[in-house]
Chain A
Amino acid sequence: MLRIEGLSAGYSAKPVLNDVSIRVDAGQFVAIVGPNGAGKTTLFKTISGILQPNGGRIMFGDADLLAVPPAQRPHLGIAHVPEGRQVFPSLTVMENLEMGALTESGRRDWKQNIERIFEWLPVLAERRAQFAGTLSGGQQQMLAIGRGLASSPKLLMLDEPSMGLAPSTADFIFDRLIDIRRQSGLTMLLVEQRVAEALESADHGYVLEAGRVVLEGSNEALRADDRVRKAYLGM
């Protein structure tokens, strides 16, 4: 569904991503893990078009994504749940969800989507009339995920959903993601620093270090890998 080939990107002269190739098949849950500054967020920004790459290709289905203007990419079926949540603070929870549903598919499926989102993340239903800026960090993260789901995406991209959250809240969010995946069969691409949880949730993984893919494999293979165990899982 998503094929990234030989992607290089960065800010002005400083390259961040170097010849990165990643593949996400329909129905897969792929995690990209790695330390701070490995280029995970840069990768997502390039997929969403906020950042122009220096080289490489990104294919989404049959479409050459780099030829599509950034604001058109969500309409193709890509939902980006950004790093640091980035909800719209002066809009209510409900209005934030409506913003997620601006795509054609989102408008069409609005009724059933909102029902399912409220079922998965009931706190959003409780606080639907509240301004998003007044929510707690964990609630904002759930809103950002709900907002992403509201577009009826083909691919849900999650950028560090655990960032800045208490461990128990982060665990809760990972559990929700696994549930959502199981019940909807949605294709997901997750970027995480919490390697253990990420590899546990996903079925395929990439390890990104200093802008390069250093390791790739199924979650069992990665969790059994010596380097991963030593560097990230503390074993």
Chain B
Amino acid sequence: MEAFLQALAAGLLIGAVYGLMCVGLGLIFGVMRVINFAHGDFMMLGMYTAFYLFTAAGIQALFGNAVGPFVAILLAGPMLAIFGYFVHLTLISHVSGTRTASLEGEGHYAQLILTLGIALILQNGGLLIFGSVLASIRTPLSSSAWELALSQDISVFLNKARGIDAIVSLVIMTLLSLLITRSRIGKSLRAAADNPTAATYMGIDVDRAHRVAFALGSGITAIAGGLLATNYPFHPFVGLEYVIVMYAGVVLGGMGSIIGAFWGGMTIGLVQQMSTLILPTQLQNAAIFVVFLLIIFFRPQGFFGRMVERT
């Protein structure tokens, strides 16, 4: 019983961060319909950006070891958003959005090769610049825990760093869903996703909407990456490990559903942690995909898949 609750708690905490990571990708896919293979590597860049902001840019000295990492992580988000903005402006926009109407397969082949290429450049460029030594954003919070006494003999331990990671994720997720559902920009993004042609008739610059979505998605995933980096060491090829999980989360949530991607990521976090109760840890990822296949078997459109036909 205690082990079960412990795994459940760990799953919820990591699931919130996975959820945020998936939402970044889900936003880009949902609005642009572009499969971005480089998204894991954008996250890797976010991890290193947070790492260097923390260690080299003086944030550690200024804010200390407890608050410092989170300041660095939150700053890495906007920086990666700006990076994503320019990657879209200079590269992605040439093979997506309104320019693709005349391309074969709506430019999907070109998008595939381009984002794979960006991924390779980022991975190997990362190896060149950051080196192959494992890095991590160390905070004393990673090795201390809150004890949650549920009854006299059952208590659950919550890792402090992961607890704060989850809270940060939930706050950002709440802000994002307010932005998407309430604000004029968010509604324009959804309109551009629903029907780019009709959105143009409304006076929405669809390519600009895509750029905003790409920047926002990059920044959000960068923050999620930074949060993960407080507990997991990383290296320039770490994106490969996560990008599969990201796509699984987006598909589980329902392709095109931005909020759904969060619950997809949450599910993956829960399955990953709960599976350790009955399976050896090496099979964590196998368990994720068995559950993934089961869910997709019974609900192919994902949790929040759109039943309404896209026109």
Contacts and interface: CB of A to CB of B under 8 A. Distances in A.
B95 to A, nearest CB: 19
Interface string B171-204: 0000000000000100110110111011111111
Interface in A156-178: none
Given A48-B200, A71-B200, A102 B188 contact: yes
B267 to A, nearest CB: 22
A39 interface: no
Nearest to B206: A71
Contact of A99 (B193, B202, B306, B308): B202
B309 interface: yes
A49 B195 contact: no
* In the complex, the 5 A-B pairs of residues with the closest C-beta atoms, listed nearest first: A133-B308, A74-B203, A86-B198, A71-B205, A88-B194
A50 B202 contact: no
Interface string B79-109: 0000000000000000000100000000000
Interface in A75-100: 75, 79-80, 82, 84, 86-91, 95, 98-100
A134 interface: yes
B256 to A, nearest CB: 8
A147 B201 CA distance: 10
Nearest to A147: B202
B190 A88 contact: yes
A40 to B, nearest CB: 16
B311 A89 contact: yes
A82 B309 CA distance: 17
B308 A151 contact: no
A93 to B, nearest CB: 13
Given A71-B208, A89-B194, A102-B203, 11 more contacts: A48-B201, A80-B201, A82-B197, A86-B201, A88-B194, A88-B195, A89-B311, A90-B194, A95-B187, A98-B187, A99-B191
B202 A74 contact: yes
18 contacts: A48-B201, A50-B197, A70-B200, A71-B203, A71-B205, A86-B195, A86-B198, A88-B190, A88-B191, A88-B194, A89-B309, A90-B306, A90-B308, A91-B187, A91-B191, A98-B184, A99-B202, A103-B203
Interface string B200-218: 1111111010000000000
Contacts, number: 80
B200 A88 contact: no
A200 B190 CA distance: 38
B184 A102 contact: yes
Interface centre among B194, B202, B308, B309 (most CB of A within 10 A): B202
Given A91-B187, A91-B190, A100 B202 contact: yes
B311 A84 contact: yes
Nearest to A144: B198
Given A84-B311, A86-B311, A102 B200 contact: no
A86 B310 CA distance: 10
Given A90-B194, A91-B190, A102-B184, A131 B203 contact: no
Contacts of A147: 202
Contacts of B184: 98, 102
B308 to A, nearest CB: 3
Contacts of B203: 71-75, 102-103, 151
B204 A99 contact: yes
A155 to B, nearest CB: 13
